[in-house]
């Protein structure tokens, strides 16, 4: 559980500058997360933050298409 918590905190820390202000966000480390890699956790967090509207999908300034992460 502590490893999962550290992975969640690091993943959010890297996304924090792209999040809007005025949100209280709670992440819960569940036992199902034990076998997941950092990349999986980060990808899932990114999906949920975009779905909830907390972060916006970056676009490529030249053609308006989504930027690759």
Q: What is the per-residue pLDDT across 13-57, written as a single tens digit (0 to 9) for each?
A: 998 888 888 888 898 888 888 889 999 999 999 999 999 888 876
pTM: 0.71
DSSP state string for the chain: -HHHHHHHHHHHHHHGGGBPSS--------GGGTT--HHHHHHHHHHHHHHTTSBPPPB-TTT-PBPP-
């Amino acid at each position: 559980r502590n490893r999962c918590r550290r992975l969640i905190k690091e993943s959010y820390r890297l996304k924090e500058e792209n999040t809007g202000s005025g949100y209280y966000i709670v992440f819960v480390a569940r036992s199902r997360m034990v076998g997941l890699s950092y990349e999986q956790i980060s990808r899932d967090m990114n999906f949920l933050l975009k779905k909830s509207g907390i972060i916006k999908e970056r676009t490529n300034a030249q053609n308006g298409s989504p930027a690759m992460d």
